[in-house]
Amino acid sequence: MIKAIHKYIYFLTLFLFLALSIWLFYLLAGFPDKQFALIILGAIFYFVWGVVRHLIKGDFHLKIMLEYLLIAILAVILLKGAIFP
């Protein structure tokens, strides 16, 4: 039961941070440098969140870390292309 609650707390934290990031991204329309800084911050949070979650869960492996890192980098590249045409 407690593990299920922790699982929901982990994902709620991620969801709230990403929702806040999206909201701030739209508020910062017209300020591409600030939007890019927000994108970098979001990618770092996503990567750290994933690594910490798997360390706590006890199933951390190098492949998992690389997966989170590559997804974060891909998101940065795609969103950078969207704000800096």
22 token code pair: 């999206």
Q: What pLDDT does residue 29 have? A: 93
Domain that holds residue 38: 2-83
Q: Residue 85: what pLDDT?
A: 78
Q: How far apart are CA 6 and CA 18, in angstroms?
A: 18
Q: What pLDDT does 6 receive?
A: 80
Task: Kindly give the parts of the chain with pLDDT less than 50.
Answer: none
Q: And the tokens for 1? A: 């039961």
**Number of structural domains the chain divides into:** 1
C-alpha distances (whole Å) from 20 to each of 4, 11, 14, 34, 62 are 24, 14, 10, 15, 29
The pTM (predicted TM-score) of the whole model is: 0.89
How much is the pLDDT for 7? Answer: 81
